[in-house]
A and B are shown apart, each in its own frame.
Chain A
Amino acid sequence: MNPAAWLLLPGLVLLPVLLLLPLALHGGGWSLIGGFLAAAVQPSLDPALLAASGRGLAVTLAVALWSWLLSLVLGLAAGLLSAPLVVAELCGQRWPALVLRRLLALPRSLHELLWGLLLLQGLGLQAGVAILAIALPYGALVARVVSDQVEALDPGPLRALRTAGSPAWAALLQALGPPLLPGVLSYGGYRLECALRSATLLGVFGLGGIGADLRLSLQSLQFREAWTSLWLLGLAMLLLETLVALLRRRWLLPGASVGRRGRELLLAGAVLAVLLLPAGHLLGLDGRCLLGPWSWPAPTDLWTNAGWRQPWPALVGSTVGLTLLATALAVAAGPWLVLLLRPWPRLLLPLQALGLLARLLPPPLTALLLLFICRPGVLPAALALAFHNAGVLGRLLLEQLAAQDPRPEQALRSAGAGPRRALLQAAFPAVARTYLAYGAYRGDVILRETVVVGLVGAGGLGVVLLEALSSFAWGDVVPVLLVYAGLTLAGESLADGCRRRLLLAREVG
């Protein structure tokens, strides 16, 4: 089968969704949607609000920066230690890596928001809470990607170096460093964008942040105030994404000379180090706070029976269903839209603007907007998750397409193929594997995000979890967390199996 078909296949879920959508629409709130859109061109310019928003943006950027850096450090270390190839070199056994890899599913299975609420219990009002809340799950995610990449490397050079008598550490660095660097650089830049989105959704305990302002403004229907935050945030995100794309193109181009790239990397590192100081000062960071005293609430009822008596099959079923539906929609949206709009390249710009808005709006807020015109249930929840994640995946797709060698497509065009046919036969097959791999990782993220949209009537584990957290019922929290971890592990095993088959297929083919 043409790999491009795999890109378009998830679009099959669009059929039932398009059939069900008209039934779910109630249309009673089009005036609210109109008000929201109209407010885009007249955001509030009240000086006090602007100043507070500017400060909120600075706080959010500072949290994103610190949590991103911490997650990269944690993720690289944990990723290498959970790669069997590396661990086998260091201690002669493969199993510690496999165990660690499974254990890393635990921090990853929890949404940043829940990490935040749990860490707040132990640490109190600290900017460090927001940073750790993002860095821990992100670190585990980075670790998974790094260890996947190590696994996909050719072990030949490493074996050669070892046979030649080079010590384990030096051989690992020399054999794995250069081939891993492009992937780590490219993925690392992408993580910074993710960190900004998470910092936006999370808000910062005790400091607010622009995301918290955005959420409260939208919930109280102050659309003009909400757009002040959205424009500022959008500008920051656009700037960041453009810079990351620029650096990625510059550093990862096949012709990029190694010496120059090294110098620029050092310079970028120095700039980051300089930025970290004011950012840390703004947040009032104090590393000592992590040392304690940690004071947890009295664990009176951590293991109650009641917490375990939940309708698990129904809860898990609706959570998994929502995840699959949202993931399929998010994966399908990009390729289908690009295919449909191919004959009119000018329409790409409005599409990119829509994508930026999708990445900007946290899913719970999109869900609220959707409820103005759509009845509560799984559908608005899935659409909200899909919209946000399609924005993320769509950008990756466009970037990949832009990085392709244009000649095969041009050749097809000059041979008389239409623009869509050329895309399907040349560019899509080339990007299909990587894009779908991103999609699989995204499924992991969407599973976590189901927590934050459960409240629009989609039900599932998220509702139980938020209810337990707001009742401070730790006995109810623990079982749900374990079930989430189990689901993440199951999803990971599934994805691992698929990837192994893909790798095998590539070797055979």
Chain B
Amino acid sequence: MPSPALVAALALALAGVSQPVVAAMPRFRVPLAQLNPGPAATAPVLRISAIPDQNPEKLNRLYGLVADELSESLGRKVVYVPMVDYSAAVTAFRKGDLDLVWFGGLTGVQARLQTPGARVLAQRDVDAAFHTLFIGNREATAGLQPIRSAADLKQLRGRRFTFGSESSTSGRLMPQYFLQQGGVKLTDFAGGGPGFSGSHDATIALVQSGAYEAGAVNEQVWTSGLRKGTVDRSKVVVLWRTPPYPDYHWVAQGNLDRRFGAGFTGRLQAALVALKPTSQRRVQILDLFGARQFVVAPADQYGQIEAIGRQLGKIR
């Protein structure tokens, strides 16, 4: 009867899963105790995060590099905290559990409205004038007249249509705004409402396959899909490129100067803006962000996003 031995062996096996892996991965290990430093905590740790809009392997690689880079240029310990959900990132920021977060347009505004003192630090060069693409399944949308303005989006009534994630600016908020401009209500779509694919890559795949006849997608993801060859132009076409609007940005807590020393927020902003392709790591970071550089972002630029968010009920 092998039972006690078996139980013990399993215990060893299970313990073995956790211990060596943890020891082997110091960079990915985020002790949650550090996320909530008590009053006795010594040197504060800068906790950075991002909305999960990429595959996890890329998120881990990119923000691991960003943490290393900032840690070097600021002389502080910086850790990356992975988030599982857009609205969880907003809430964690409101609770003060994250110090610097790469938000989308909508989530950034939501986070700042809920967090007194929070500041917009920087955006990529591409973010001041970002675009959404309305895409269509080639076969299903062959009969459509060319779409030249939001008013022409009326033709999408009665079609199967999908957004990306519910809280996405380029995959949901702005396309819904332009649809509204064109006189299309969400209930006008086939099935009584739009779908939510969960991500831009999924939107492209679902429109390309024909599950949905049309959808709205982040222009940057579309372009990189073209480059990687995952987009099949014989099956999916661009119907319309929206007018520009501001999107992604870095948002920081308002209390960083108090916690990290006078002038820290300014140094953090300068470190972000100073990221130029001068070292291999910086080249990698900018490449993964799909940007040439970061620029200082004026907070009032996002007034348009806030107004639209309130109009569509995504900001209360």
Contact code string A202-244 (vs B, CB < 8 Å = 1, else 0): 1111111100110111011110010000000000100100010
Count of chain A residues with a beta carbon within 8 Å of a chain B beta carbon: 88
The residues of B that contact A207 with a CB separation of less than 8 Å are: 30, 32, 82
Is B298 interfacial (CB 8 A cutoff)?
no
The residues of B that contact A284 with a CB separation of less than 8 Å are: 31-35
The residues of A that contact B316 with a CB separation of less than 8 Å are: 301, 471-473, 475
- Given A29-B205, A472-B87, 5 more A-B residue pairs with CB atoms under 8 Å apart are A125-B92, A125-B97, A206-B92, A246-B6, A376-B212
The residues of B that contact A51 with a CB separation of less than 8 Å are: 21, 24-25, 28
Give the B-binding residues of A (Cβ under 8 A).
26-29, 32, 44, 46, 48-49, 51-52, 54-55, 57-58, 61-62, 116-117, 120-121, 124-127, 202-209, 212-213, 215-217, 219-222, 225, 236, 239, 243, 246-247, 250, 264, 267-268, 271, 274-275, 278-279, 282-286, 289, 295, 297, 301, 364, 368, 371-377, 455-457, 459, 463, 466-467, 469-473, 475
Q: Is the CB of A26 within 8 A of B211?
A: yes
The residues of B that contact A212 with a CB separation of less than 8 Å are: 52, 56, 82, 84
CA distance A459 to B4 in the complex (A): 51
Q: Is the CB of B191 within 8 A of A124?
A: no
Give the A-binding residues of B (Cβ under 8 A).
3-4, 6-8, 10-11, 13-15, 17-19, 21-22, 24-25, 28-36, 52, 54-57, 59-61, 81-88, 90-92, 94-98, 110, 114, 137, 160, 162, 166-167, 191-193, 195-199, 201-202, 205-206, 208-212, 230, 235, 313-316
Q: Is the CB of A58 within 8 A of B56?
A: no
Q: Is the CB of B24 within 8 A of A222?
A: no
CA distance A213 to B83 in the complex (A): 10
Cross-interface CB contact of B88 among A44, A205, A221, cutoff 8 Å = A205
Q: Is the CB of A297 within 8 A of B191?
A: no
Cross-interface CB contact of B209 among A32, A124, A459, A472, cutoff 8 Å = A32
CA distance A29 to B56 in the complex (A): 24
Q: How far is the CB of B114 from chain A (nearest CB, A)?
A: 7
Main secondary structure of the interface of A (DSSP, over half): helix
Closest 6 CB pairs of A and B: A29-B209, A284-B32, A28-B210, A203-B84, A28-B209, A124-B95
Question: What residue in chain B is nearest A59 (Cβ atoms)?
Answer: B18
Q: Is the CB of B32 within 8 A of A455?
A: no
The residues of B that contact A117 with a CB separation of less than 8 Å are: 85, 87-88, 91
CA distance A44 to B57 in the complex (A): 11
Q: How far is the CB of A38 from chain B (nearest CB, A)?
A: 15
CA distance A473 to B8 in the complex (A): 50
Q: Is the CB of A282 within 8 A of B210?
A: no
15 A-B contacts (beta carbon < 8 Å): A26-B211, A61-B14, A202-B84, A203-B84, A206-B35, A207-B30, A219-B201, A219-B202, A264-B3, A274-B11, A282-B18, A289-B36, A297-B94, A374-B211, A376-B195
CA distance A283 to B35 in the complex (A): 12
The residues of B that contact A286 with a CB separation of less than 8 Å are: 32-33, 36
Question: What residue in chain B is nearest A289 (Cβ atoms)?
Answer: B36
The residues of B that contact A463 with a CB separation of less than 8 Å are: 193
Known: A46-B57, A208-B84. A471 touches B313 (CB 8 A): yes
Question: What residue in chain B is nearest A474 (Cβ atoms)?
Answer: B316
The residues of A that contact B97 with a CB separation of less than 8 Å are: 124-125, 206
Cross-interface CB contact of A243 among B10, B88, B110, B192, cutoff 8 Å = B10
Q: Is the CB of A206 within 8 A of B199?
A: no
CA distance A206 to B96 in the complex (A): 13
Known: A121-B91, A216-B55, A473-B313. A368 touches B198 (CB 8 A): yes
Q: How far is the CB of A57 from chain B (nearest CB, A)?
A: 7
Cross-interface CB contact of A205 among B59, B61, B92, cutoff 8 Å = B92
CA distance A50 to B33 in the complex (A): 25
Known: A55-B29, A372-B211. A208 touches B160 (CB 8 A): no
Q: Is the CB of B17 within 8 A of A376?
A: no
Q: How far is the CB of B100 from chain A (nearest CB, A)?
A: 14
The residues of A that contact B22 with a CB separation of less than 8 Å are: 55, 58, 282
Q: Is the CB of B211 within 8 A of A375?
A: yes
Q: How far is the CB of B214 from chain A (nearest CB, A)?
A: 13
Known: A55-B22, A124-B92, A470-B87. A264 touches B14 (CB 8 A): no
CA distance A471 to B17 in the complex (A): 39
